[in-house]
Structure 1
């Protein structure tokens, strides 16, 4: 049986340079269930692919906060 993947987009506040995005991506990719993360300074967004049975929006927001930034889930 294949893995279910959901893509969530978050607005991220507090980024000042491209390194900020890399720090966030590194933190998110450490989460169990996150398969990919792309954070872009220009758009102020993080796009996260994850297995919703192992990780959710709350964990992503907490990991971003631990990295020193604030985030909120964008609603479709």
Structure 2
């Protein structure tokens, strides 16, 4: 099933950070769309929950130095 999840992002310093997060998330199998917003410090991820879960998403972003917390 397709799931949309909004995360609060900690550790972003500029718009390039949001592009890096989007790119790493979109490389994951099962992620259909990732939109990181630097100004709001949020990220919307649309993914297939049969292929991955929020823990994988959080772990992927943690590997590049950012912390995600689910909002919805």
1:33 aligns with: 30
What TM-score do the two structures reach when normalised by structure 1?
0.90
Q: Which runs of 5 or more residues in structure 1 are unaligned?
A: none
Count of residue correspondences: 72
Long gaps (5+) in structure 2: none
Q: Give 1:30 deviation, angstroms.
A: 1.0
Structure with the higher fraction of residues in strand conformation: 2
Paired residue for 1:46?
43
Task: Name the Cα RMSD after superposition.
Answer: 0.8
Bigger Rg, which one: 1
